[in-house]
Amino acid sequence: MENTHQNMGNQGNFGAQPPKNWLVESILVTLFCCLPLGVVGIVYAAGVEGKFARGDVDGAFKSAQTAKTMVLISAVSGIVGLVIYFVFFGGMMLLSAAGV
């Protein structure tokens, strides 16, 4: 009877593949792009496989989607930040070289 209860959570996802968890990408964007959004992505990415293993397939896919969204927003904000940085300091260098 105990084995039946323990295995009930996995009946719905037997043989199914868990969704991509985006953990590596979340760690990379946390280190290189945007710390706050990357941390949120890590939290959601870390929960994907646990939810899937408990049989919460829908929750696993929602967590994976949220982690993906955080990764993409973090990457875009990091790129935009770099562009603004280079435009601002590049403009400052041009102005100082021109003697203005």
Tens of pLDDT, residues 85-100: 999 998 888 888 887 6
Query: Structural domain tally of the chain?
Result: 1
Better-predicted residue by pLDDT, 47 or 93: 47
How confident is residue 2, by pLDDT bands cut at 50, 70 and 90? Answer: very low
Structure tokens at 99: 């003697």
- What Cα–Cα distance (Å) separates residue 82 from each residue in 32, 34, 49, 88? 11, 11, 33, 10
Q: What local confidence, expressed as pLDDT, does residue 14 receive?
A: 65
Does residue 34 lie in a domain region? yes
Residues in the chain: 100
Contact 34, 50 (CB under 8 A): no
| Sign, Cα dihedral of 43, 44, 49, 54 | positive
Structure tokens at 84: 């603004």
Does residue 51 lie in a domain region? yes
Rounded Cα–Cα distance for residues 5 and 20 (Å): 28
Does residue 13 lie in a domain region? no
Average pLDDT, the chain: 86
Domain of 84 in residue numbering reads as 19-98
Does residue 7 lie in a domain region? no
Does residue 49 lie in a domain region? yes
